[in-house]
């Protein structure tokens, strides 16, 4: 079963994404900050990361850069509560697969996850 790492400091978002991802047939792993996300990356080998832009211990873009430096092939979908075309362009330029604004459409996020994983293969 494919593992998806969810990185968000909001426990309700983590809970909602976990339920959605598991209903779609994936296994979920969660992290609430950058440090636990990096630990989960090395120990759990996820197929994809869903990453919030704002985290308590680092910026999501910084974490995206760290992820891509070590795992350039790993798809990362960025989430944000703040829709801004500049942030979206910056995330895509740094290697994000997609940039999604909260609240997100459940079907859209699952479609993005499936497409990203199939393109990785």
Position 97 scores a pLDDT of 96
**Torsion (CA) 86, 28, 25, 112 in degrees, nearest 10:** 10
13-36 pLDDT, tens per residue? 999 999 999 999 999 999 999 999
Q: What pLDDT shows up at residue 121?
A: 64
Q: Where are the domains of the chain?
A: 3-120
pTM of the predicted model as reported, rounded to 2 decimal places: 0.94
| Distance (Å, whole) CA 34 – CA 13 | 16
Distance (Å) of CA 98 to CA 20, 39, 40, 57, 120: 18, 23, 21, 22, 14
Stretches in the chain below the pLDDT threshold 70: 121
| CB atoms near residue 69 (< 10 Å) | 9
Q: How far apart are CA 15 and CA 90, in angstroms?
A: 27
The architecture in CATH of the region 3-120 reads: 3-Layer(aba) Sandwich (3.40)
Packing angle of the helix pair 60-70, 34-44 (nearest 10 deg): 20
- The string of pLDDT tens digits covering residues 75-86 is 999 998 877 777
């Amino acid at each position: 079963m494919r593992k998806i790492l969810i990185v968000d400091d909001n426990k309700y978002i983590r809970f909602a994404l976990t339920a959605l991802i598991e209903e779609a047939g994936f296994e979920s792993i969660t992290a609430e900050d950058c440090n636990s996300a990096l630990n989960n990356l090395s120990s759990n080998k996820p197929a994809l990361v869903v990453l919030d832009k704002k985290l308590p211990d680092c910026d999501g873009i910084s974490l995206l850069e760290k992820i891509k430096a070590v795992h350039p092939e790993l798809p990362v979908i960025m989430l944000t509560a703040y829709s801004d075309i500049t942030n979206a362009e910056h995330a895509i330029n740094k290697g994000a697969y997609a940039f999604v604004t909260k609240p997100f459409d459940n079907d859209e996020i699952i479609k993005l996850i499936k497409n990203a994983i199939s393109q990785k293969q």
